[in-house]
Structure formats: C-alpha cells, structure tokens
C-alpha cells in the first residue's frame, strides 16, 4: 500500500478573512496561520485539512498521507523528487510534484497527529420502520456548524480524462470503483477512483476525474459526522446567507448524502455522510451518463 488517505487540499484565495469565516461556518476549525498561509483543521486527527494562501483565486492541488517511509521513498523515486522536511503544521517528511495537467501533488509521511475533537453528542441510533433501536431517548442533534471529520475526496475536471485516469492509476495506484461512459464503454467520461489498500476498506472515491473542456475543480468534499450533521450545517449556512449550490440529496456513485455550498471565491465544497466503502474485491462498474448517475434522490443538478 502506497497511500493511506487524502489529507488536505491546497487553494489560493484573494480574501483570507472571508474564506476563513466561510470555512468556520462550514465546519472547519482554525489550525494555524503562518505568514500568508491559512491552515484549517477538521475534528479528526489530521494536522490540517485545508490550506489557502493569499493570491488570485486558484485550486492548487492536494496532499496525501503516505502509508510508510518506504512508500514515500518509492513514490519520490518514481517522480524523481527530493524528500525534504515538510513545512506544513505537523511536520514529517514530504515531497511534491505535479500531475500532467499541473495540479500540485504533495506526499507526506510522519506528520504528528492531532487529538480528535468532540463532535457534539453521541452518534445517531436510528429508528426505521422495521427496527426501533432508540428507545426512551430523544434525537437532539443541536444547531451549529457541521462537525467535519476529514477531507474525503476531490472531483477534478480534465481535458483528457482517459489519460489522467490511467496516469493516476499507474503513478498513485488509484483504481476505478465506477466508470461513466458516453454510451460506448470505450469512451470514458468520468471515473470515481479509490485508493489501493488491498483487502482494507476505503472510500468509494478519493479522487474523481471528469472530462471537461479544460482542467479545473468541480468540488472538494468533507465528511461530516452523520446525516443530521449535514442537515444542521445546511441550516446554519442558509441562515448566514451563503450561496447554496445543490442538495440535500443522495448520490448514486458513492451513495453519499450530499450538500454543496459555494465559497466566496466561487469554489464548490461538499458536506457528505454515509458514503460507500470498497476494497480490492469490489468489482468496477460501468454506466452510461444520465440523471441517474448524478443522484438517487434530491433536487435536480443545477442547470440540468
């Protein structure tokens, strides 16, 4: 195994105060501000999940937590990169490179983990029509920002999706969980790709690559504590007057309960909960593009 997980996303924003306030309301927390870099953390143990620096708005890239020192060396050798001390909070050793479309990729091993923070009450015990599991106790999630546990995945646009899918497969070991095509299986329009962790269960997608006119970012997605945490976060973001993009609904690929918001610079961020898990034995599925590949229920995708 080369990569344990995706750990952080890298942006540039023209107004750091505005993006900080948006992200605090969205459910991230202050980690540290170093020079012109704003680091925000989740409630989980990652040193940070989001970093943005002052500048023209841009999606810069992503950082991965590498599985071992050996894996770091193996990856650095593959990319012909030098391993140095990691300058980010948590330290450790790292290197950086870029993919063929210019996205910055950082690989870190040995960063100090943070103490996870309390996420507001006990996990939900569900009562459904057939099984009553919560007896004599009330469901009271409380009002406030979502409790983001970790960065979950990125969905990027590519002008040459098939080549990028192959590149991420060959170089990072990502494997397609599900592929979307244009009606002909040979013409892949998008891939939802998971980390290669063998028999270990991993998210249905850590990176999705979608064919588009030009490279870019569709969204960055953060895992919330649970379904109610997505809902209460939605209410707070709505009350604060932020721009909503799409949701609440349940995706098809990955099955997440989703809710999308748009940050002050126009980037989309997703709250999600209840995503699928896959492993090396999960077969790759293929679908033609259509409404059903976007969601199972919820409002229609804006513009479709």
| Interface ranges with Fe ion (CB under 5 A) | 221, 270
User: Closest distance between Fe ion and the C-beta of residue 64, in Å?
Assistant: 17
User: Closest distance between Fe ion and the C-beta of residue 41, in Å?
Assistant: 20
How far apart, in Å, are the Cα atoms of 26 and each of 62, 88, 234? 19, 22, 9
Angle, CA 58 vertex, CA 56 and CA 59 arms, to 5°: 160
Instruction: Please return the burial class of 167, using the count of CB atoms within 10 Å of its CB with bins 0-12, 13-18 and 19+.
Output: middle
Helix, strand, coil shares of the chain as percentages rounded to 5? 15, 40, 45
User: Closest distance between Fe ion and the C-beta of residue 258, in Å?
Assistant: 6
The string over 273-300, giving b where at least 16 C-beta atoms fall within 10 Å of a residue's C-beta and e elsewhere, is: bbbbebeeebeeeebeeeeebbbeebee
Q: How far apart are CA 277 and CA 11, in angstroms?
A: 27
Nearer to Fe ion, 119 or 206 (CB): 206
User: Closest distance between Fe ion and the C-beta of residue 261, in Å?
Assistant: 12
Nearer to Fe ion, 206 or 221 (CB): 221
Nearer to Fe ion, 90 or 223 (CB): 223
Nearer to Fe ion, 149 or 221 (CB): 221
Q: How far apart are CA 231 and CA 271, in angstroms?
A: 9
Nearer to Fe ion, 223 or 270 (CB): 270
User: Closest distance between Fe ion and the C-beta of residue 221, in Å?
Assistant: 4
Six-digit token string for 54: 């002052």
Nearer to Fe ion, 119 or 221 (CB): 221
Please give the residue whose beta carbon sits closest to Fe ion in the complex.
221
Q: How far apart are CA 23 and CA 265, in angstroms?
A: 12
User: Closest distance between Fe ion and the C-beta of residue 124, in Å?
Assistant: 22
Nearer to Fe ion, 158 or 221 (CB): 221
Do the beta carbons of residue 45 and residue 88 sit within 8 Å?
Answer: no
User: Closest distance between Fe ion and the C-beta of residue 154, in Å?
Assistant: 8
């Amino acid at each position: 195994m080369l990569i344990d997980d995706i750990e952080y996303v890298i942006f540039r924003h023209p107004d750091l105060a505005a993006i900080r306030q948006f992200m605090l309301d969205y459910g991230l927390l202050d980690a540290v501000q170093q020079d012109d870099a704003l680091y925000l953390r989740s409630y989980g143990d990652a040193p940070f999940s989001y970093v943005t620096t002052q500048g023209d708005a841009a999606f810069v890239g992503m950082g991965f937590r590498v599985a071992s020192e050996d894996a770091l060396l193996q990856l650095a050798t593959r990319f012909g990169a030098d391993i140095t001390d990691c300058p980010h909070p948590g330290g450790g050793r790292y290197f950086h490179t870029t993919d063929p479309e210019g996205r910055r990729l950082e690989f870190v091993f040995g960063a100090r983990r943070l103490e996870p923070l309390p996420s507001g009450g006990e996990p939900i015990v569900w009562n459904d029509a057939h099984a009553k599991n919560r007896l004599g106790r009330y469901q009271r999630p409380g009002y406030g920002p979502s409790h983001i546990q970790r960065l979950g995945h990125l969905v990027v646009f590519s002008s040459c999706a098939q080549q990028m899918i192959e590149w991420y497969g060959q170089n990072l070991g990502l494997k397609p969980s599900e592929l979307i095509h244009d009606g002909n299986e040979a013409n892949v329009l998008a891939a939802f790709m998971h980390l290669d962790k063998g028999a270990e269960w991993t998210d249905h997608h850590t990176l999705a690559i979608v064919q588009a006119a030009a490279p870019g970012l569709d969204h960055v997605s953060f895992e919330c504590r649970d379904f109610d945490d997505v809902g209460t976060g939605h209410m707070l973001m709505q009350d604060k007057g932020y721009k909503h993009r799409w949701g609440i609904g349940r995706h098809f690929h990955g099955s997440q309960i989703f809710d999308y918001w748009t940050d002050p610079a126009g980037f989309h961020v997703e709250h999600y909960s209840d995503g699928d898990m896959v492993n090396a034995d999960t077969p790759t599925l293929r679908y033609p593009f259509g409404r059903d590949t976007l969601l199972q229920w919820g409002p229609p995708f804006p513009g479709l």
